[in-house]
Amino acid sequence: MFNRLDVEEIIRQKVYARFDGSPYLYLYDAEDFPALNKKGFSFESSLGHSMQAYFYYYDKPIENRLIIFEHGLWGCHRSYLKEIEMLCKRGYLVLAQDHTGCMESGGKDTNGFAESLRDLNDLLNAIYEIDELKNYDISIIGHSWGAYSTMNITALHPKIRHLVPISGFISVKAIIKQNFRGILALLRKKVMKIEKRSNPDFFNYSAEKTLKATSAKVLIVHSVDDATVEYDYSAKKLQKSLKKKDNVEFLIVKNKGHNPNYTENAVKLKRAMQAEIKEHMLDGKLEDEEFCKEFLAKHDWDKITEQDIEVWNKIFEFLEK
C-alpha cells in the first residue's frame, strides 16, 4: 500500500516536522517576566549541528541545584516558559534547550521520537564540561516528548537526583503502538525502522526497564483523560510495573488532558483555542498574516497557560526531598 520512501517522507513532514514557531501561537520570553535573567548556552549535537539552550534564574538561585526542563514535540523551550518561570520563582536555576529541529537549534526535522533522549544525553555531556556545574545536583522535568527523555535518561546518566516526567510516553514502541492503530497498524514496522535508522543507539529504551533500575527519586504526573499520551499506554502501565519501587511516586489527576500542571480552566480554554486552530487550518485563514495577528490579540495567553499552584506545590515538595 505504501513504499518505504512514501512512509518516511510523510512521517518526517507530518510527525517529525521542524518547529520554527507559529504566527498564531504566543511564545513567552524572559522579558515577559520582570527581573528574570536569561543566559545562552550553545553546544554541538552528536549529529553535528548546533544546539541552543538557555539558563533562566532570578537573582541568588539555590546553590548547587540545577533543574533541566525538557520541552515537548511541536514546540520549543519557550512554549514552557510559564513552567520554567515557576521553577525560577521557587529559587531554582533552570536550563532548557530547544531540541533538534526546533526553533534556535539545528536539524532539518526533529529526527524521531527517540531524538529527545539523544539531545538530553548531549546536553548533559556538554554541561559536565563546565567546571562550576560539575558538583551540582541535577534534577530533570519534562513534558510529553521531553518526559520520555526524562524517564529514560538515568540509563545513561545514573547520578540524576530527581525526575519529574509530565504526560510522558514510556518508549518509542509504546507511542507508535498508541498512534498507529486500526488500518494504520500496518505502518508500525515501517515507522519503527525509520526510528531505528534515525537513532540506532536510543530508540530501544523503555521507562519500564529504566525506572526499575534507577535510584533517582521519581514523580510521574499524568491525567487520566490525556488523549495525546494515553494514560493506559503510559502511567497506568508504570503504576503496575513499578509498584514495589519506594523511590517512585505518582501524581494522577483528572480533567487536565495533556497538561496536568495547568488549571482546569486553562485546559478548557486551550482545547477551545485548538479547535479554532483546526477549523482555521481547514478554511485557510491561518495563511493570512493579519488574521494571525488578530487571532493572537483576541486570546488571553496568561489564562490559556495558567499554572495549577496545587500541582506545582506537590512538585516543589517532591524536589525538596
Span 7-54, pLDDT tens digits? 788 888 888 999 999 999 999 999 999 999 999 999 999 999 999 999
Give the pLDDT band (50/70/90) at residue 1: very low
Is residue 2 scored above 80 in pLDDT?
no
Q: Would you say 195 and 172 are in contact if contact means Cβ atoms under 8 Å apart?
A: yes
Q: Would you say 87 and 51 are in contact if contact means Cβ atoms under 8 Å apart?
A: no
The beta-carbon contacts of 236-242 under 8 Å, at least 24 apart in sequence, are 237/170, 237/174, 237/208, 238/170, 238/207, 238/208, 238/211, 241/208, 241/212, 242/208, 242/211, 242/212
Q: How far is the CA of 299 from the CAs of 96, 190, 294, in angstroms?
A: 26, 40, 9
Q: What is the predicted pLDDT for the residue at 6?
A: 76
Q: What is the predicted pLDDT for the residue at 5?
A: 55
Q: What is the predicted pLDDT for the residue at 102?
A: 98
Using CA atoms, how far apart are residues 124 and 156, in angstroms rounded to an integer?
10
Using CA atoms, how far apart are residues 163 and 245, in angstroms rounded to an integer?
14
Mean pLDDT calculated for residue range 206-215? 98
Other beta carbons less than 10 A from residue 240's beta carbon: 9
Please name which of 107, 43, 110, 39 lies closest in space to residue 73, comparing C-alpha atoms. Answer: 110
Is residue 72 scored above 70 in pLDDT?
yes
In the chain, % of residues over pLDDT 70:
98
DSSP state of 321: -
Q: What is the predicted pLDDT for the residue at 10?
A: 82
In the chain, % of residues over pLDDT 90:
93
Helix (H, G, I), strand (E, B) or coil at 187: helix
The beta-carbon contacts of 129-136 under 8 Å, at least 24 apart in sequence, are 133/66, 135/64, 136/64, 136/65, 136/66
Q: What is the predicted pLDDT for the residue at 7?
A: 76
pTM: predicted TM-score of the whole model, two decimal places: 0.96
Alpha helices, H only, 25-171: 81-89, 115-127, 145-152
Q: What is the predicted pLDDT for the residue at 3?
A: 53
Q: What is the predicted pLDDT for the residue at 173?
A: 96
**Rg of the chain in Å (alpha carbons):** 19
- With the C-alpha atoms ordered 67, 255, 176, 105, is the resulting torsion angle positive or negative? negative
Q: How far is the CA of 205 from the CAs of 116, 125, 153, 171, 261, in angstroms?
A: 12, 18, 9, 6, 26
Per-chain mean pLDDT for the chain: 96
Is residue 160 scored above 70 in pLDDT?
yes
Mean pLDDT calculated for residue range 100-108? 98
Q: Record the cell numbers describing residue 304, joined without a space.
A: 490559556
Alpha helices, H only, 47-143: 81-89, 115-127
Mean pLDDT calculated for residue range 89-113? 98
- Looking at residue 27, its amino acid is L
